């Protein structure tokens, strides 16, 4: 018996499978057939967990798989692995799929849809440098990437060291290109594996998702951890050895030999299929959707996750923010709407948190340059406080930067660099940004206090007090 409607999902990861699962909760198989196509070997995996798998904190690939294909199928979601969608026919309401199950060229067929979910995600940036395709250059986007890297590392670590490409002194070396989230997380992973790590970045400071003054704190901390951090560097080529394997990285300033090279240069929306079908894309190449996550002007095509742009509620601009937390929300919202319920995604405020060894790094809202780019004028303050009461054991220094709009005093952004218990404090500011609070209003927030948890003035409150004072001091101008 055919179902009344068919939902087709392209991409079997966070957004796609969350959408499928949520729709299935709301509609029975006889009401809604759900077919999902995934071109890779894995579905529903945590890409964010790959650095921790490589670093050894997470043991085993299966820990990163939230739900197996069999589990999806048991819930009447027809998930087809190794199946690529090669064409989208919007007027015909159908997609062309190629099944690679047998490893051969694959059989092609058209599959019609009533509701379509584009959850094609993002692809890592791989600049066209000489040697970039050499064996020994790794990405960390998929579980296959992670497995290939781990296999290579384990093989390398089994070698005695002499004769290894990294220099023959028995020291294993890793070069990470890019000092963003993936870059610093991979640096930590290699430190945990006992590698000497070099991170090479073109920016003035690591973590270009922070302002340079806060990025400088990350730089200092990484240096203190023994991570060589090269700034303002342009990678010119990948060094290769006699066998053609990657043996390091060359920049305009020098050469950095390595046993392994990892690229952490960020990702771009994977929207070729959508572009070829004429769907609306934003400046970043991400799909544009409405608040219900419908592709704009297309009533039965939905999209979310790493292939869409989302509204930044602070800047008022659409932006590409590839984070698992948004992707999961989008999937849940799409599934609810297809399932006949109602849900919307209001937008993001730009929150992100990461760590490199014991250094916690967090931000929300806009950076100075982002605020200036949309015409905002502002005051900034940076304060230093501690994670716990000053007298409590284990208290650690933390820096908080706050950016508040001139005149209105509205908080525009917060950045935090500290140690344990620092990073998640950014959530205080994230909620305040959602609520449009001023720095002055934030000074009155009733936050949890006890000596093991916070100084009597939480560092975020200290920043708010100082930002509020800065706005008042600047007001007459």
Tokens of 239: 């060094």
Name the residue nearer to its own copies (CB basis): 277 or 400.
Answer: 400
CB distance 417 to 218 below 8 Å:
yes
Name the residue nearer to its own copies (CB basis): 245 or 326.
Answer: 326
Please provide the DSSP assignment of 38-90 as one string.
--SS--SB-GGGHHHHHTTSS-SGGGGBSS-HHHHHHTT-EEETTEEEEEEET
Name the residue nearer to its own copies (CB basis): 167 or 324.
Answer: 324
| Residue 341: CB atoms within 10 Å | 14
Instruction: Tell the smallest beta-carbon distance from residue 418 to its own copies (Å).
Output: 13
Instruction: Tell the smallest beta-carbon distance from residue 88 to its own copies (Å).
Output: 28
The H or E element spanning position 103 is none
Instruction: Tell the smallest beta-carbon distance from residue 351 to its own copies (Å).
Output: 5
Positions annotated as catalytic residues are 48
Cα–chain-centroid distance for residue 183?
Answer: 11
Residue 209, classed as helix, strand or coil, is coil
Instruction: Tell the smallest beta-carbon distance from residue 353 to its own copies (Å).
Output: 3
Burial class (CB in 10 A: 0-12, 13-18, 19+), 216: middle
| Residue 76: CB atoms within 10 Å | 16
Instruction: Tell the smallest beta-carbon distance from residue 242 to its own copies (Å).
Output: 39
Q: What share of the chain is helix, strand, coil (3-state, %, to 5)?
A: 30, 30, 45
Name the residue nearer to its own copies (CB basis): 112 or 452.
Answer: 452
Tokens of 153: 């590392």
Binding site for its own copies (CB under 8 A): 14, 46, 48-49, 52, 57-58, 63-64, 181, 185, 323-326, 328-329, 344-355, 362, 364, 389, 391-393, 421, 423-428, 430-435, 437, 441, 443-454, 456-458
Name the residue nearer to its own copies (CB basis): 235 or 404.
Answer: 404
């Amino acid at each position: 018996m055919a179902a009344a409607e068919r939902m087709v999902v392209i991409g079997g990861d966070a957004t796609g499978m969350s959408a499928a699962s949520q729709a299935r909760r709301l509609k029975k198989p006889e009401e809604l057939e759900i077919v999902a196509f995934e071109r890779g070997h894995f579905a529903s995996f945590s890409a964010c967990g790959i650095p921790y798998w490589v670093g050894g904190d997470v043991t085993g690939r299966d820990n990163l798989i939230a739900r197996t294909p069999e589990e999806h199928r048991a819930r009447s979601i027809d998930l087809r692995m190794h199946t690529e969608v090669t064409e989208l026919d919007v007027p015909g309401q159908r997609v062309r799929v190629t099944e690679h199950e047998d490893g051969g060229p694959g059989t092609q067929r058209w599959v019609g849809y009533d509701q379509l979910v584009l959850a094609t995600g993002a692809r890592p940036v791989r600049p066209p440098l000489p040697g970039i395709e050499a064996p020994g250059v790794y990405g960390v986007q998929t579980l296959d990437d992670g497995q290939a890297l781990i296999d290579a590392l384990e093989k390398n670590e089994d070698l005695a060291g002499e004769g290894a490409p990294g220099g023959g002194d028995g020291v294993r070396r890793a070069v990470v290109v890019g000092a963003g989230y993936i870059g610093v997380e991979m640096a930590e992973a290699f430190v945990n594996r006992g590698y000497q790590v070099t991170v090479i970045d073109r920016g003035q400071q690591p973590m270009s998702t922070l302002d340079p003054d806060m990025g400088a704190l990350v730089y200092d901390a990484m240096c203190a951890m023994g991570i060589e951090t090269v700034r303002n560097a342009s990678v010119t080529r990948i060094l290769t050895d006699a066998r053609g394997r990657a043996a390091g990285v060359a920049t305009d300033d020098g050469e950095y030999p390595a046993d392994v090279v990892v690229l952490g240069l960020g990702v771009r929306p994977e929207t070729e299929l959508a572009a070829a079908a004429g769907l609306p894309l934003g400046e970043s190449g991400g799909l544009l959707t409405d608040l219900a996550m419908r592709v704009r002007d297309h009533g039965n095509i939905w999209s979310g996750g790493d292939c869409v742009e989302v509204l930044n509620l602070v800047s008022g601009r659409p932006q590409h923010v590839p984070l698992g937390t948004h992707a999961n929300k989008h999937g849940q919202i799409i599934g609810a709407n297809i399932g006949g319920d109602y849900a919307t995604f209001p937008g993001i405020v730009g929150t992100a948190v990461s760590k490199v060894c014991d250094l916690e790094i967090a931000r929300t809202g806009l950076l100075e340059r982002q605020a200036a780019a949309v015409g905002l004028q502002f005051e900034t303050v940076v304060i230093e406080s501690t994670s716990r009461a000053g007298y409590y054991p284990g208290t650690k220094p933390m820096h908080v930067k706050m950016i508040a709009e001139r005149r209105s005093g509205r908080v525009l952004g917060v950045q935090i660099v500290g140690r344990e218990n620092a990073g998640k404090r950014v959530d205080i500011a994230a909620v305040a940004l959602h609520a449009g609070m001023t720095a002055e209003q934030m000074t009155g927030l009733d936050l949890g206090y006890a000596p093991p948890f916070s100084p009597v003035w939480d560092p975020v409150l200290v920043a708010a007090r100082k930002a509020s004072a800065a706005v008042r001091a600047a007001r007459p101008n």
